[in-house]
Structure 1
Amino acid sequence: MEDTKMEDSSNQREMSHEEMPETHSKGGLITMPFIIANESFEKVASYGLVPNMILYLIKDYHMGVAKGTNILFFWQAATNFTPILGAFVADSYLGRFLTIGLGSIFSLLGMILLWLTAMVPQSKPPPCDLMTQTCSSPTSAQMTLLFFSFVLISLGAGGVRPCSLAFGADQLDRRDNPKNVRVLESFFGWYYASAAISVLIALTGIVYIQDQFGYRVGFGVPAILMLLSALVFFLASPFYLKQQASKSLLTGFVQVIIVAYKNRNLTFPLPNSTASYHHKRDSNVVAPTDKLRFLNKACIIKNPEQDIALDGSAANPWSLCTVEQVEELKALIKVLPLWSTGIIMSINLSQNSFPVLQASSMDRHLTKKFQIPAGSYGMFNIISLALWVIFYDRAILPMASKIKGKPVRIGVKLRMGIGLFLTCIAMVVSAIVENARRKEAIRSGFQNNPTAVVKMSAMWLVPQFCLNGFAEAFTAIGQTEFFYSELPKSMSSIAAALFGLGLAVANVLASVVVSIIDDITSKGGKESWVSSNINKGRIDNYYWVLAILSFINLFYYFLCAWAYGPTGRQATKVKSIAG
């Protein structure tokens, strides 16, 4: 869920503030159902594929747990990274309408290919031979088809998710409307509500369909939903306001780095020589700060006649940057250490495969006839996050403010620290519960039968999901708020891009951790901790490794928070220094 919430919150800050056309013949509330339905259907379809995918890879593609988990980690990494590329492409080249449209088509094609792997027997290995207990490995062509479907789905998410909310805001942002702010607020509320409901439906309804009717139906339903997503979006095409692409902030960062390197041999101007630096007209920031001074060479004017155009802008932005561009990059670099402290928590939150395997071997019955699907336990993460946000905002803060007699809020750095501590505890609880489950399986004689169901309720897995949900509520939301408050307003779109990048890095590192543990623990013919037979493996020890890494990361966070100093708007600091 962390990737859903943060991707959505990014788009709110990413929306364009360009002036709207005078005519009001396009846009407006009539477009809202189509835009919201587009991303809602995409979320239900794509998120519904993830929970049971490890079971599909193990049973139908005869993969080991370690290999299947690594594939899913890389898939999640790609899905979290492509929205950054999608935002760049939309801002710089295609615009939001085309980016969302192409993303919807890519997602649809990917889900159709994935559905074909379940429908066409030749697209995956034949069933295992029960007599000889042998299983055929998938061929290169079969794996290529599977991976290509994953790639298309990730590309589709990269087109839809970073642009959808901003595109909706474009339709409603009418500066001449006195109720403009209220209209936008209402739209954001409905958008976030639909996003949360979509993920819950994915983790319950789609997973239940896969469990009850198999993957032919379970993959077919998401494909149909994605078809509806694309159709409803394009159906309203004549009514949309379609703004043109403009310069991307990421392009500005690249320009600063390149120009600073090209000017590396230049000498710095004399102190207080503000005329030697290029800045925007009427800007309060006329000279760069001394921090990361080597970047200042990107805005040094070498030859005013050649470097400056008649309108006061740079004649060639790849040869001269503004002071504002330089300071924006510095602000980004300053928050990177604290950004990196959230990666370990994201690794913990991305542990989807092992809990599904654990739940499938435990008693999941709520009644005699109904049991919770193994892939649906992730919903407790979302539920706990949502409940805590409501309780914190509507009960704790008002009560504390009433007692204190003044407005009370928990500092953003304190909230991030609390969340990192909670994710440590979540990993400890995960290790303890898995140790108890494994002992019960061995005691019941199931050591060689990983599919057997032990006499232990799967509800014992709920506390770890709830703790991770609380951790996400504190750290993920707090970290995004921190980025928004510390970076200049012109960089608001970068805040969510940072979180998405953190998720992508976390998925890759999670795969590395699994591979290292698998290689080390399986040496000498020993059973790997992440064995395909979870009763012989030691997933509890794997969780202990994550717990230790989380505690180390917590101390690293304390160091980064201390080094950062007091929080405050970075743009204000720059202006005061320049003044």
Structure 2
Amino acid sequence: MESERELLFVEENPRKGGLRTIPFIIVNESFERVASFGLQSKMIIYLMTYYNMSAATGTSILGLWNALSNGLALFGAIIADFYLGRYRAVAYGSISTLIGMIILWLTAMIPQLKSLSCSEIHHVCNGPTTLQLAVLFSSLGFMSIGAGFVRPCSIIFGADQLENKKNPENQRILESYFNWYYASSGVSTILAVTLIVYIQDLYGWKVGFGVPAILMFLSVLTFQIGSPLYIKVKAKTTENLVIGLFQTAVAAFRKRNTRLSSTNYDELYRWPLESEVLPPSKDFRCLNRACIIEDPQRDLNPDGSASNPWNLCSVEQVESLKALIKALPMWSTCFMIFVDMNIFSFSLLQTKTMDRHIFPHLQVPAASFSVFMITALTIWIAFYDRVLIPLLSKYTGQPRGLSPVTRMGIGLIASGMSIALSAITESIRRQRAIEEGHEDDPNALVNMSAMWFVPQYALLGVAEATHGVGQVEFFYALFPKSMSSIASSMYTVGTAVSSLLGSILVSSVDWLSSTGGKTSWLSSNINQGHIDYFFWLLSFFSFLNFLYFLLVCRFYESLNDGRSRSSHVAKEKECDYRLLHES
């Protein structure tokens, strides 16, 4: 097949790809992350100050921006896989992000592009004009489009450079690459929430927005410098993935009365014709009807292609739809861990009222406590890759130490423990605040160290490291090669869905807990509210989600038990799932 010929071309051309290309790719992603996350950290203050938005309006806009950036990842992955190719997707996405950052920087540089602050016009606040909002939203839109292309495609583009089936260490190299890619992302995020925020505080918005724009320019430049060395797998333009999935479902429904045969492979449609005759898997056998040739004269064109793709689909299309269906249950188990991470922003209100000194003359800003989470994430990935994998692989027999499914389960447990610990800590903090007479003053300093929040931040970092890497590896192996960018985007789209679910949960709890004139659990006065009750509710949901995760694992185990492996399936069972044919 075409992709196999491309892979053979890759293996026979040592001048392309390899480890030497990875620095260009990781630097591109790192600079993009520093620039993007550096802007997001204090963006709410910029909107409230220069666009005279309320906190609720500004938060809503930023929430939509974040959801759009993550949600576009799925569309960016599809366009990359079937139209642009991953190289052009990353290149165009980086340029789009750069354009957005330049426009945002111009809003800080040109007074006419933003509203006057209230203090400048004697506290009479005028809202932004339509033009000013259009410029602002266009900058956010360009950055969202860029993120939708870069984030799902960059990590898989790096895997393209390293994949070599003839190398017995290929799998180990890929696993190490995935780990170090995420470690570099963690370091980049640390720099974003510390260095960029410090520059914005010290030098103002003109410099604070200019530095991310310069870093994004360097990101684009670095990626283009490595262009001659890259392996550029061409997009599969002959068919559209989304349409193909719908065609498969429609064809299977139309042939719902067709008899299924488990032995006659000659009646199965394959395209191109020279591809190997492989039987479809036994999972969701009802979908196998879509690739059965009932009448060759009616169903096939003279060149062997399907005369009606809505009535006859290839085995590969059927397997792609099966892979997506099988991924959905495991994908849905990730929502709760992302909800926990998003809800953790309430910790900002808590740490603001506590002693944040590490040393007598060193105080951690309340908004920078997420550094502890990112630091734990980075340290864990490096520790697992260099220390635990060699030790665990001797006992588990798996080159990656623990299977992706096992690591995802560990991440869910760590996330639940983090939220439960947060509930305990908040109960203690609230009790001390009341005992010290601060019940009516949410800004009063409580005689309690904010360092009590470090363990839960660290646990959350470990949860994201184990679950995030494991989930990407799980989908990367489960999906066919043609859907590899979608494997990466599933993680990003999951964060978008979780943001929406988290917002609904917060609104529901706030409304239900304040009925009858009672003080809401999520009151702005956290000494009167009960954030600890809310954290206990999240802990309960996390426990239910873990039980659901175990049930989903049983589902995958039953699929493995009921199938026989074919020649296109990897013989080594490294995980609790099957590796699909790489088309």
Q: Please tell me the TM-score bracket, short chain as reference.
A: 0.7 to 0.9
User: Aligned partners of 1:177, 1:417: CA distance in 2, in Å?
Assistant: 31
Is it true that 1:82 corresponds to 2:75 in the alignment?
Answer: no
Candidates 475, 478, 487, aligned match of 1:483: 475
Candidates 275, 279, 292, aligned match of 2:270: 279
Change (3 A) 1:555 1:533: same
Q: Which residue does 2:91 correspond to in 1?
A: 101
Q: Which residue does 2:573 correspond to in 1?
A: none
Candidates 149, 153, 168, aligned match of 2:143: 153
* Per-residue CA distance 1:299-351 (angstroms, 9 max, x = gap): 23243135334554435545421123213322331232122111111111223
Change (3 A) 1:168 1:198: same
Amino acid at match of 1:197: V
TM-score under structure 1 normalisation? Answer: 0.80
* Structure 2 counterparts to residues 464-479 of structure 1, below 5 A: 464-479=456-471
Q: Which residue does 1:254 correspond to in 2?
A: 243
* Per-residue CA distance 1:13-35 (angstroms, 9 max, x = gap): 9xx73624988887777765544
Amino acid at match of 1:465: Y
Tell me the SS of whatever aligns to 1:456: strand
Residues 103 and 139, structure 2, Cα contact 8 Å, conserved in 1: yes
Is it true that 1:372 corresponds to 2:364 in the alignment?
Answer: yes
- Bigger RCO (CA 8 Å, 6+ sep): 1
Residues 248 and 317, structure 2, Cα contact 8 Å, conserved in 1: no
Amino acid at match of 2:504: V
* Per-residue CA distance 1:75-116 (angstroms, 9 max, x = gap): 322222222222221222223343223212221222233334
User: Aligned partners of 2:429, 2:7: CA distance in 1, in Å?
Assistant: 54
User: Aligned partners of 1:448, 1:59: CA distance in 2, in Å?
Assistant: 27
Amino acid at match of 1:224: I
Q: Which residue does 2:328 correspond to in 1?
A: 336
Change (3 A) 1:553 1:36: closer
Candidates 190, 200, 204, aligned match of 1:200: 190
Change (3 A) 1:524 1:91: same
Deviation at 1:292, TM superposition (A): 5.1
User: Aligned partners of 2:556, 2:13: CA distance in 1, in Å?
Assistant: 47
* Structure 2 counterparts to residues 88-487 of structure 1, below 5 A: 88-119=78-109, 127=117, 143-168=133-158, 191=181, 194-234=184-224, 242-247=232-237, 251-252=240-241, 254-261=243-250, 264-266=253-255, 267-269=257-259, 271-272=261-262, 273-279=264-270, 281=274, 283-286=276-279, 289=282, 291=284, 293=286, 295-309=287-301, 312-315=304-307, 317-351=309-343, 353-396=345-388, 409-410=401-402, 412-441=404-433, 450=442, 453-487=445-479
User: Aligned partners of 1:59, 1:341: CA distance in 2, in Å?
Assistant: 39
Amino acid at match of 1:202: A
Residues 178 and 469, structure 2, Cα contact 8 Å, conserved in 1: no
Amino acid at match of 1:285: L
Residues 187 and 374, structure 2, Cα contact 8 Å, conserved in 1: no
User: Aligned partners of 1:418, 1:176: CA distance in 2, in Å?
Assistant: 33
User: Aligned partners of 2:178, 2:409: CA distance in 1, in Å?
Assistant: 28
Residues 101 and 213, structure 2, Cα contact 8 Å, conserved in 1: yes
Deviation at 1:427, TM superposition (A): 1.2
User: Aligned partners of 1:246, 1:61: CA distance in 2, in Å?
Assistant: 45
Change (3 A) 1:449 1:248: farther
User: Aligned partners of 2:523, 2:120: CA distance in 1, in Å?
Assistant: 21
Residues 74 and 511, structure 1, Cα contact 8 Å, conserved in 2: no
* Per-residue CA distance 1:159-184 (angstroms, 9 max, x = gap): 22233344456567789999999998
Q: Which residue does 2:574 correspond to in 1?
A: none
Q: Which residue does 2:539 correspond to in 1?
A: 547
Q: Which residue does 1:557 correspond to in 2?
A: 549
Q: Which residue does 2:575 correspond to in 1?
A: none
User: Aligned partners of 1:45, 1:361: CA distance in 2, in Å?
Assistant: 30
Change (3 A) 1:433 1:71: farther
Residues 450 and 534, structure 1, Cα contact 8 Å, conserved in 2: yes
Deviates more, 1:549-558 or 1:405-414: 405-414
Tell me the SS of whatever aligns to 2:448: coil
User: Aligned partners of 1:524, 1:284: CA distance in 2, in Å?
Assistant: 68
Deviation at 1:226, TM superposition (A): 1.3
Change (3 A) 1:392 1:187: closer
Deviation at 1:462, TM superposition (A): 1.1
Identical-pair percentage? 46
Deviation at 1:398, TM superposition (A): 5.2
Change (3 A) 1:569 1:40: farther
Deviates more, 1:219-228 or 1:392-401: 392-401
Amino acid at match of 2:247: I
Tell me the SS of whatever aligns to 1:565: helix
* Structure 2 counterparts to residues 511-526 of structure 1, below 5 A: 511-522=503-514
Residues 290 and 313, structure 2, Cα contact 8 Å, conserved in 1: yes
User: Aligned partners of 1:278, 1:302: CA distance in 2, in Å?
Assistant: 10
Residues 332 and 487, structure 1, Cα contact 8 Å, conserved in 2: yes
Change (3 A) 1:132 1:58: same
Residues 64 and 532, structure 1, Cα contact 8 Å, conserved in 2: no
Q: Which residue does 1:40 correspond to in 2?
A: 30
* Structure 2 counterparts to residues 497-508 of structure 1, below 5 A: 497-508=489-500
User: Aligned partners of 1:120, 1:361: CA distance in 2, in Å?
Assistant: 37
User: Aligned partners of 2:505, 2:154: CA distance in 1, in Å?
Assistant: 34
Deviates more, 1:483-492 or 1:19-28: 19-28
Tell me the SS of whatever aligns to 1:19: helix
Tell me the SS of whatever aligns to 1:269: coil
Unaligned stretches of 5+ residues in structure 2:
570-577, 579-583
User: Aligned partners of 2:363, 2:230: CA distance in 1, in Å?
Assistant: 44
Deviation at 1:515, TM superposition (A): 2.6
User: Aligned partners of 2:396, 2:554: CA distance in 1, in Å?
Assistant: 30
Tell me the SS of whatever aligns to 1:301: coil
Change (3 A) 1:59 1:422: farther
Deviation at 1:426, TM superposition (A): 1.2
User: Aligned partners of 1:405, 1:491: CA distance in 2, in Å?
Assistant: 29
Deviation at 1:573, TM superposition (A): 4.1
User: Aligned partners of 1:176, 1:490: CA distance in 2, in Å?
Assistant: 20
Deviation at 1:44, TM superposition (A): 0.8
Residues 66 and 530, structure 1, Cα contact 8 Å, conserved in 2: no
